[in-house]
Structure 1
Amino acid sequence: MDYYSQLVTDPDLRAELLDRFDELAGAAAAKGGLEGLERLEPPTVDEAARAVESMTEGTWVRDDSALEAIILAFTRPVYLVQDSTYTSSASDFPDSVEIANRLDSARPALERAIPSAGRVDLRNHRLQWAGTAWMVREDIAVTNRHVAEVFARQNGDAFVFRTHFDGSMTRATLDWRREYQRPAESRFRVEEVLWIEPDGSADVALLRVSATGEEGEAQPPVIDLMTEQEIAATTAVAVIGYPARDSRNSADDQRRLFGDVYGVKRLAPGQITTVSADGLLQHDATTLGGNSGSVLIGLETGKAAALHFAGLEHVANYAVQAHVIERIIRERAR
C-alpha cells in the first residue's frame, strides 16, 4: 500500500474528509495553506472524491497537488504540547473531529506518557540540541544511536562524552518540558552513556539520567514497553517528540503542517503500517529530523510500541520495536 492510500483507509476519517472538503480547501487557500501550490486552483470536492477512491483502490499516482497537501494536513496533523497535554495544531488548519475524539479517548494514557519524553540538549557543542529521549527504566532513558553519537563515542569497553581541541567536554541534559510558549524547564543531566548499539544493529542508545533535576524535581515516570504480541495487535499510535526544521523535507509542507514552529514538544497521531520480523516497524505519523528518539505510544494501552529513528517524506517512518529495546536493556544496562 502506498503512503497516500494508507491515509484514507479509515472509513470514518475518509467520510469526514469528504464531508468537510469544501471547508478545508477554503481554509487552506484563505490562510495561505497552499504555499508552493499557488499556480493551482483549489481542488473541488468531486475531484477529492475521485482521488480518494483511487487512493483506496491503490491506483493513485502522486502529483504534488493541493489535494495532497489538504489530505495530509487533515489526516496526519501535528499537535502542540502545552502544560503536559496536547492542545491544538500551530498550523491554523481545521482539525479533524474524528481524530480529536480518538485522542480524547486516549488522553489519560497520553498525559501519562507526555512528561516522560524530553529534548536532548547539549552544552559545549555547535548544536543546541540533538533529538528526543524518553524514560524506559528508573534512571535510564532511551534514544537513537545516531543521537547519542553526536555527543558521545566509544572508548574501549565504555562510552565517553566527546571533547574538543580546547579540552572542553560536551555534556547532554534532558529537558522534559520545552513546550511552545511555556518558559518552564525540567532539566536532568545525562550522567553516563550506558550503551550505544553498533552500526548495523538497532538504532538504540541507553543513557543514565541523574536522580533529580536541576531544581530538585523527581524523574518523570517510566513508560512501559509493549510485548511483541501487543505490538502485533496495535494500530493507532501517537508519536511524542521534538520535530526540527528539516532541510531534507519540503519547506512548504513543513510550513503547512508545523506552522513554522520547531524544537518544541509535539504529539502526532498515526498508524503502524508494517511490523517486520527483524524488529523494526513502519508508521505514518508526521515527523521531522528532531523526532529521532521519539516514542510511539499505543492509544489503547498507553505503552511504548517503538522508538522512532528515521523517516522518508511521503514514504514511511521507521522505528525499533519495544521488545528489541527490552532485550538491549536486559543485556546492556548494568
Structure 2
Amino acid sequence: MIEEALRLTDNLDELTEYVRDNGQELLATAIHTRAVTGPRVDLDAPEFREQDRMVDRGARALEKLRTAGSAADLTDDEADGLEAIVNLALRPALLMRDGAFEPPKVPWQGLTAYRAGIEEASRQVGRIQWANPTPDGPPYLGTGFLVGEDVLMTNGHVAELMCDPGGGYEPGSSTVDFTDDPDAGGSTRVDIVSLVGVHPGYPPRPDLAVFKVDRQSPYLAGGVGNFEVRENPPDSLVGRVVYAMGYPAFDPRNDPAAMKRVFSDIYNVKRLQPGGVMSYSPELGTVFHDCSTLGGNSGSCLVDLETNQVLGLHFGGVYLKHNTAVALWALRDDPLLAKAGVEFG
C-alpha cells in the first residue's frame, strides 16, 4: 500500500494537508448516504467514530510517507488508515448528476479543466438492460458506449447475457439508457436493434462485442455524438491519466467495507472513475489500469483524459489491485470493428 500511495500521487504535502484539514468532509463520503433522498447521518454517532479514527490514522501514515518515503515504518493501524485514504481520495468514483460530475477533491481538482469534454462524453455512455425485465432477473446487464453514430460497444460477456444460447440476438430485447440514474425516471432509453458481432477471439480475448442501436430514437436524433477511438497509443502510456465511466454495481466478491468507502453504498448509477495506466501487455492486447471499478462497469470506456479519445474497453480486474481493458488501438484494422463502423482517429 505504501508503494501504491506513492505511485498514485506526486504531491504528498498537498494530500496530507487536505486530509488533516478536511477529515470530517472526507469521512462523510465514506459512510452510507443516499444520492438524492434520505436523512443525513450523525457523524458523532458511535458507529462512525471508528471511521473517523481511521482517517486520522491515514493522516499519520501520510506524514510518515512525506518524511521517509518508501522506507516509512507504518503500524498496522496506520497501514489500514492509509488504505482508506487511497480508496477515498486517490481512486474516487465521482457521481454524475444531471450530466455533471460532483466537485473532485485532492488530488483530482485538475479534472475541472476537462469538465466540458467529460460531461459531453457522459452523454455517450449508457446502461444496458432488458427491455422487459423480470422481477427475479438482474437490474441491468452492463455498460456500453457509442463509438459511431449508431454503434454501441460493450463486452463479449455482456453480449452473452443479451443473446440466446445459440448466439442469436432478438431485435429490441435489450435497451441502453444514457441517463445518470435510469431507475429514477427521465429515461433516455434507446433500443438495441441488432448484433454486429462478438469478437471471434472471445473467449478469452478480446472481450468485445458491437451492436447497432436505433438511430431514429429521440435521444440520438437530438444530436448526441460518439466517442472517437484512438488509433495509436500515446507516446507515454504508463502513468497516463485516464478515466472509466460506467454503472458500477454492488459486488459480493469484494470487501463490503472497502466498497462502501469508495461508493458510499450508492450503486447502479453513472460514475466518473479517474485513474492511471499501470502497464500494457502487447501479447494480451490488454491495458492494466487502476480506476475504481466494479462488476457493473463491464463494457465501460477507458478514456484518455488529455484527448478525450477512447483507449480501451474495460472488461474486468481485481478490486483495489488492478483492472483490465481491451487495448482498442491494437484493433484498428480489425474486420469486426471495420464492419461495425467504429470511428478511429
TM range (shorter): 0.7 to 0.9
Which residue pairs with 2:15 in the alignment? 17
1:48-88: CA deviations, max 9, x gaps?
33256777469989887132112220111111112222124
What is the aligned counterpart of 2:61 among 44, 47, 51? 47
Where 1:173 maps in the other structure, the secondary structure is strand
Where 2:112 maps in the other structure, the secondary structure is helix
1:310-331: CA deviations, max 9, x gaps?
0202210100012145344445
Please tell me whether residue 184 in structure 1 is matched to residue 186 in structure 2. Answer: yes
Which residue pairs with 1:333 in the alignment? 340
Comparing 145-154 and 36-45, the one that deviates more: 36-45
Q: Sequence identity, in percent?
A: 25
What is the aligned counterpart of 2:209 among 188, 199, 205? 205
Which residue pairs with 1:165 in the alignment? none
Instruction: Tell me the number of residue pairs that the alignment of Structure 1 and Structure 2 aligns.
Output: 316
Comparing 123-132 and 321-330, the one that deviates more: 321-330
Which residue pairs with 1:116 in the alignment? 124
Q: CA deviation at 1:246?
A: 0.8
Which residue pairs with 2:142 in the alignment? 131
8 Å CA contact 2:190–2:219 kept in 1: the answer is no
The amino acid across from 2:282 in the alignment is: A
Which residue pairs with 1:145 in the alignment? 156
Where 1:103 maps in the other structure, the secondary structure is helix
| TM superposition score normalised by structure 2 | 0.79
Please tell me whether residue 84 in structure 1 is matched to residue 99 in structure 2. Answer: yes
1:108-131: CA deviations, max 9, x gaps?
221221100100011345222111
- Structure 1 residue ranges without an equivalent (≥5): 89-94, 163-168
Backbone CA RMSD of aligned residues: 3.3
8 Å CA contact 1:54–1:60 kept in 2: the answer is no
Bigger proportion of residues as strand: 1
Where 1:311 maps in the other structure, the secondary structure is strand
The amino acid across from 2:177 in the alignment is: D
1:270-299: CA deviations, max 9, x gaps?
001112213210111111110010111111
How does 1:152-191 map onto structure 2 within 5 Å? 152-153=163-164, 155=166, 159-161=167-169, 171-179=173-181, 183-191=185-193
Distance 1:325 1:153 in 2: 27
Which residue pairs with 1:321 in the alignment? 327
Comparing 106-115 and 133-142, the one that deviates more: 106-115
Q: CA deviation at 1:22?
A: 2.3
Distance 1:213 1:36 in 2: 50
1:135-185: CA deviations, max 9, x gaps?
111211100011111111474xxx4137xxxxxx98110111133896321
Which residue pairs with 2:40 in the alignment? none
Change (3 A) 1:226 1:32: closer
Where 1:16 maps in the other structure, the secondary structure is helix
Please tell me whether residue 247 in structure 1 is matched to residue 247 in structure 2. Answer: no
Comparing 242-251 and 194-203, the one that deviates more: 194-203
Change (3 A) 1:58 1:66: closer
| TM superposition score normalised by structure 1 | 0.82
The amino acid across from 1:253 in the alignment is: A
